[in-house]
Amino acid sequence: MTTESCNSTPDYTIACRMNHEAAALERLCQVVRIRGFRIAKMAVETQDGVLDIALTVQGTRPVTMLQSQLEKLHTVEEVILTTPVLAPATSRTA
Amino acid sequence: MNGAQHILEAFHRHNIQTVFGYPGGCIMPLYDALVDDVSVEHVLCRHEQGCALAADGYARASGRLGVCIATSGPGATNLITGVANAHRDSTPMLVITGQVPSSLIGTDAFQETDVLGMTLGIVKHSYLAESADELPSILEEAIELAQSGRPGPVWIDIPKDVLLAEAAVAPTCRPTPKEAACPDLTSATALLRAARKPLLYSGGGISLAHAEKSFRDFAESSGLPAVVSLKGIGNPGKHSAHNLGMLGMHGSRAANRAVDECDLLLVIGARLDDRATGKLEGFAPNARLIHIDADAAEMNKLLSTELTIRGDLNTVLRELTQVLRETPLEISEWRKQCQTWRTTGGFQAADNEEPLTPITGPAFIRQLSRIAPDDTTIACDVGQHQMWIAQYYQFDHPRHHLTSGGLGTMGFGLPAAIGAQFARPDSTVLNVTGDGSFMMNAQELATIRRYNLPVKLIIMDNQCLGMVRQQQELFYNNRECQINLDDNPDFVAMARAFDIPALKIERTDQVRRGIETILAYHGPMLLHVAIAREENVWPIVKPGGSNREMIDETRRNSADKKEKVA
């Protein structure tokens, strides 16, 4: 179920796994911003050259659009919408 | 072998023979390696933006990888417009920049900029090479990535010490290309068969996928009425009976009418750009949409689609052709209707036969289209002339039409023509430009002269920024602001200063001879074409408006009259 933030902008939680290369997190954050979302919460863990990122984002656009744009990033291995959303969550292995 | 030599080794391995660049401090080890290399032709442009746009033009004209090189700091920042241009139009490009030595990164060193950070949004991917040992694998991956799937620019930023460091020659195994499996087309075929008024809408994705022939076969064998985006011009070929032309803001009435009336829109290799669709609520209001593309992120991005198919366009088009050949579509009434629209709502520029009258843009382009050889490549710039080319020049192949579609980069045309001439040395290459755009990269005249490229330059000079003036006239109460260019330099004298012959024409009776003269000349030549300042591109859809609300000259005039009467 989609949760609602205090200003009525929907929140979505996303789990993202990507290679820990130069500018990896900047790349991720930039896509989130340019595709119309704001990062409300972010937790990052690093293990064996891989970043596991838990993101909470807010935005009024379809979050599946953000998911597909994140999946396009070359170093992203997987993007999972952990908050159920309008469209079914999917994942992709790079 | 040091890092710089590894770069040249990668060029050899991938048969990269032409690169466009400009040397400077941190990239000097690569230029030092180039001294001993006989197989890579380095083209020295006069500005890094020229290098990037020439690499883009080379890639578009040839279908191969474009490569540009620059130094750190200002060299890299000057590349940015060209790389953004390639990104927006999905041009396969490899960008290599020098960076300050690793130990100086982050110290505000001379000519240091955070290239990786500032270019994240305009590349398909980018790398900062941290050691010479990883450089060969980065190069392999970057070259493959730039050309695969939906192509795009890939940038490698390399610190000077990495270029100089010795690295073991690592054997690189290139992956064998796999035959792409064809996605299931059952639903697409069923939707096509159920439609009474299906319409084919193709874009730049066709040539990006090297699917020109598959597309032509499909378009002809299906007999689907077809529209194209700006980047799709040339897909159906100049002799196609089903082609209704470009849709969108400056599209043909026939194309926009067909989109408005169709009940199924088969979108192939196009991204439903806002200049093509106009106001989305009014776009193809009666149609179900099938969207076939290489990029999953384009699916349902702007319009929700009945059916999306992601895959290799060549494979999909061949399969669709096969299916429709076995059982053709029964849409003769719809074809007939579209033919009527094609006859009455295409682009019919009046040939201005009065010999002493001023030259008009559309009539000039029609004449150029008649006279220029079939394999002519035209690199245009951005503005009114760009739209006249799109409307009135008959292209037989999408790679013959080089236009900055996504980014709309004024200054694209001249360096892109340079790149195209290197890609197609035996073909006629024209840069058709405006007086505003020409001045954005005019320094590249020196590159044309240096390499004695037989590029022909045609400046359509209306002494102003015509497209901006047109929109100020139509949508801003004719309040002209900062569009006047009546103090342009003498373009003929300017060309001659670069040792490029030039001539000027200003009357209709001079057009044919002017065009024939520059085409017949063995080297570079410039034709300065004076056109009227007040001329507009028709039709036009107001930005943000629906494609149904096309404004043409007649309606504009009648609206004026109404206002005057009132």
What pLDDT, in 10s, does the model give residues B383-415? 999 999 999 999 999 999 999 999 999 999 999
Closest CA to B91 of B412, B474, B460, B308: B412
* B110 has catalytic annotation: yes
- Cα gap B162→B539, rounded to integer Å: 55
Instruction: Answer yes or no: is A37 within a domain.
Output: yes
Q: Which of A25, A68, A69 to mutate to test the interface with B (most CBs of B within 10 A)?
A: A68
Instruction: Answer yes or no: is A92 within a domain.
Output: no
pLDDT-derived band at B553, boundaries 50, 70, 90 = confident
Min Cα distance A4 → chain B (Å) is: 23
Instruction: Answer yes or no: is B209 within a domain.
Output: yes
Domain count, chain A: 1
Conformational region of residue A64, where left means phi above 0, alpha means psi within -120 to 50, and beta covers everything else: alpha
Instruction: Answer yes or no: is B173 within a domain.
Output: no
Instruction: Answer yes or no: is A93 within a domain.
Output: no
- CATH code of the domain covering residue A46: 3.30.70.260
Instruction: Answer yes or no: is B102 within a domain.
Output: yes
pLDDT-derived band at B546, boundaries 50, 70, 90 = very high
Domain count, chain B: 3
Q: How many helices (H) and strands (E) does chain B have?
A: 23, 20
Residue B87 has a CB neighbour count (10 Å cut-off) of: 22
Mark whether B247 and B117 lie in a shared domain. no
Q: At B230, phi and psi to the nearest 5?
A: -55, -45
Q: At B466, phi and psi to the nearest 5?
A: -60, -40
Q: What DSSP string describes chain A?
A: --EE-TTSPEEEEEEEEEE--TTHHHHHHHHHHHTT-EEEEEEEEEETTEEEEEEEEE-SS-HHHHHHHHHHSTTEEEEEE-S--SSPP-----
Overall average pLDDT of the A34-61 stretch: 96
Find chain B residues with C-beta within 8 A of A64's C-beta.
300
Using the predicted structure, report yes or no on whether residue B554 has a pLDDT greater than 80: no
Q: Among residues B467, B494, B525, B550, which one is catalytic?
A: B467
Mark whether B338 and B365 lie in a shared domain. no
Instruction: Answer yes or no: is A54 within a domain.
Output: yes
> Shortest CB distance from A69 goes to which of B126, B127, B297?
B297
Last residue of a domain, one of B109, B134, B164: B164
Mark whether B313 and B387 lie in a shared domain. no
Q: Among residues B28, B41, B111, B220, which one is catalytic?
A: B111
B116 contacts A22? CB cut-off 8 A = yes
Instruction: Answer yes or no: is A91 within a domain.
Output: no
Min Cα distance A8 → chain B (Å) is: 23
Mark whether B89 and B39 lie in a shared domain. yes
Instruction: Answer yes or no: is B557 within a domain.
Output: no
* B160 has catalytic annotation: yes
Using the predicted structure, report yes or no on whether residue B565 has a pLDDT greater than 80: no
- For residue range B369-388, list pLDDT tens digits in order: 999 999 999 999 999 999 99
Q: Among residues B124, B160, B197, B231, which one is catalytic?
A: B160
> Shortest CB distance from A68 goes to which of B116, B121, B296?
B296
Non-local CB neighbours of B148 within 8 Å, separated by 6+ positions: none
- Whether B67 and B45 have beta carbons less than 8 Å apart is answered as no
Boundaries of domain holding A58: 3-81
Mark whether B339 and B405 lie in a shared domain. no
A30 contacts B128? CB cut-off 8 A = no
Min Cα distance B146 → chain A (Å) is: 11
The pLDDT of residue A93: 30
| Class of residue B554 by CB neighbours under 10 A (exposed 0-12, middle 13-18, buried 19+) | exposed
The pLDDT of residue B555: 58
- Give the residue carrying structure tokens 């952990």: A82
Boundaries of domain holding B320: 186-345
The pLDDT of residue A76: 97
Min Cα distance A41 → chain B (Å) is: 22
- Give the residue carrying structure tokens 């690569």: B30
* B410 has catalytic annotation: no
Non-local CB neighbours of B197 within 8 Å, separated by 6+ positions: B261, B262, B263, B264, B331, B334, B337
Name residue B438's beta-bridge partners.
none
Q: Among residues B5, B9, B20, B48, which one is catalytic?
A: B48
Mark whether B139 and B267 lie in a shared domain. no
Between residues B429 and B304, which one has the greater pLDDT? B429
- Give the residue carrying structure tokens 């290239």: B115
A22 contacts B130? CB cut-off 8 A = yes
- For residue range B276-290, list pLDDT tens digits in order: 999 999 999 999 999
Mark whether B144 and B226 lie in a shared domain. no
Mark whether B127 and B223 lie in a shared domain. no
Overall average pLDDT of the B505-515 stretch: 97
The SS3 of residue B317 is helix
Q: Among residues B110, B118, B333, B534, which one is catalytic?
A: B110
B130 contacts A74? CB cut-off 8 A = no
- Cα gap B177→B432, rounded to integer Å: 38
B117 contacts A26? CB cut-off 8 A = yes
Find chain A residues with C-beta within 8 A of B116's C-beta.
22-23
Instruction: Answer yes or no: is A86 within a domain.
Output: no
The pLDDT of residue B556: 61
Find chain B residues with C-beta within 8 A of A75's C-beta.
125
Min Cα distance A46 → chain B (Å) is: 19
> Shortest CB distance from B120 goes to which of A27, A65, A69?
A27
Overall average pLDDT of the B72-82 stretch: 98
- CATH code of the domain covering residue B417: 3.40.50.970
Closest CA to B130 of B93, B95, B167: B167
Instruction: Answer yes or no: is A13 within a domain.
Output: yes
Using the predicted structure, report yes or no on whether residue B171 has a pLDDT greater than 80: no
The pLDDT of residue B355: 82
As a whole number, the mean pLDDT across chain B is 94
The SS3 of residue B498 is coil
- Cα gap B120→B115, rounded to integer Å: 9
Using the predicted structure, report yes or no on whether residue B461 has a pLDDT greater than 70: yes
The SS3 of residue B14 is coil
- Whether B496 and B521 have beta carbons less than 8 Å apart is answered as no
The pLDDT of residue A4: 46
A34 to chain B: closest CA residue: B121
Find chain B residues with C-beta within 8 A of A72's C-beta.
295-297
Distances (CA, A) of B40 to B84, B142, B153, B539: 25, 19, 20, 46
Mark whether B263 and B313 lie in a shared domain. yes
DSSP collapsed to 3 states, B418-478: HHHHHHCCCCCEEEEEEHHHHCCCHHHHHHHHHCCCCCEEEEEECCECHHHHHHHHHHCCC
- CATH code of the domain covering residue B208: 3.40.50.1220
Instruction: Answer yes or no: is A88 within a domain.
Output: no
Mark whether B115 and B247 lie in a shared domain. no
Using the predicted structure, report yes or no on whether residue B558 has a pLDDT greater than 70: no
* Total-model pTM: 0.94
Instruction: Answer yes or no: is B25 within a domain.
Output: yes
Q: Which of B90, B102, B105, B120 to mutate to test the interface with A (most CBs of A within 10 A)?
A: B120
Using the predicted structure, report yes or no on whether residue B178 has a pLDDT greater than 80: no
Cα–chain center distance at B248: 16
Q: What is the dihedral of CA B509, B514, B515, B516, to 10 degrees?
A: 100
| Class of residue A2 by CB neighbours under 10 A (exposed 0-12, middle 13-18, buried 19+) | exposed
Q: Which of A31, A72, A85, A90 to mutate to test the interface with B (most CBs of B within 10 A)?
A: A72
